[in-house]
Structure 1
Amino acid sequence: MVNKTITLSLADSQSINIGASGLDEICQNIQIILSTQQGTLYLDRLFGLKSDFVDAPMNEAAMKIQNEIYDAIEKYEPRVKIISVTFSGNDDGRLNPVISFELVEGVLL
């Protein structure tokens, strides 16, 4: 079976579905990882993304966020392989991550 590339935009985040399963669960897990500030989860202070990119110049912030995303997803959602991390931005200074990924071989939905 050939892996299909899945694209997920953090700008399209939805509310948490406690009963999510399969691909929906994986996408929801990624969204939770990326929307959690590191240090705020009591039992795992390294979960989430650092916030040292806030107020940094856009290019510098984008590089830092991109590296954080790769590291966090690799650690906390091992069922996926990231293909790319890009950003959909706008004029108000926000960087909205867009993650393209594939399921790791052997992952069953």
Structure 2
Amino acid sequence: MTIDLKNITVAFDYADGEVADIKRCLETLYQTPEGTCPLDREFGLNTDFVGMPIDVAKNLFAVEIQDKTDRYEPRAMIKTINFTATSDGLLKAEVVITNG
């Protein structure tokens, strides 16, 4: 199994003036590997679960997305995280954001 952080989709179930800014911030957070931001090594997603069984990887991936969203983008509330596994072993995530 591999994870390409560029394949994380952010979707909203509402619209307001901040949606574009929140989406940009979340995409930056989700597409950054943890440890690569010089002034904040915890920024980004940790993918140490790559290579684990798919159900374990999905759960750890969801927890990582939830934890980092809560920490770095408090304006966003996750409604659901949907996963798709491709036949070539790529795990893709869709994060749906709600306003309450």
TM-score bracket, shorter-length normalisation: 0.7 to 0.9
Aligned residues: 88
1:54-101 superposed Cα distances (whole Å, 9 cap, x missing partner): 222211111110000000011111101111111122111111111111
- Does 2:17 correspond to 1:10? no
Q: Which consecutive unaligned segments of at least 5 residues does structure 1 have? A: 1-8, 13-20, 105-109
**1:72 corresponding residue in structure 2:** 68
- Does 2:48 correspond to 1:52? yes
**1:101 corresponding residue in structure 2:** 97
- 2:39 alignment partner, SS class: coil
- 1:55 alignment partner, SS class: coil
**1:6 corresponding residue in structure 2:** none
Q: Residue 82 of structure 2 aligns to which amino acid in structure 1?
A: T
* TM-score when normalising by structure 2: 0.78
Is this contact kept in 1: 2:9–2:95, CA < 8 A? no
Higher relative contact order (CA 8 A, sep 6+): 2
**Separation in 2, partners of 1:94, 1:11:** 14
**Separation in 2, partners of 1:91, 1:31:** 25
Moved over 4 A (4+): none
- Between the two proteins, what is the percent identity of the paired residues? 31
Among 27, 34, 51, the alignment partner of 2:23 is 27
**Separation in 2, partners of 1:36, 1:92:** 23
Structure number with larger C-alpha Rg: 1
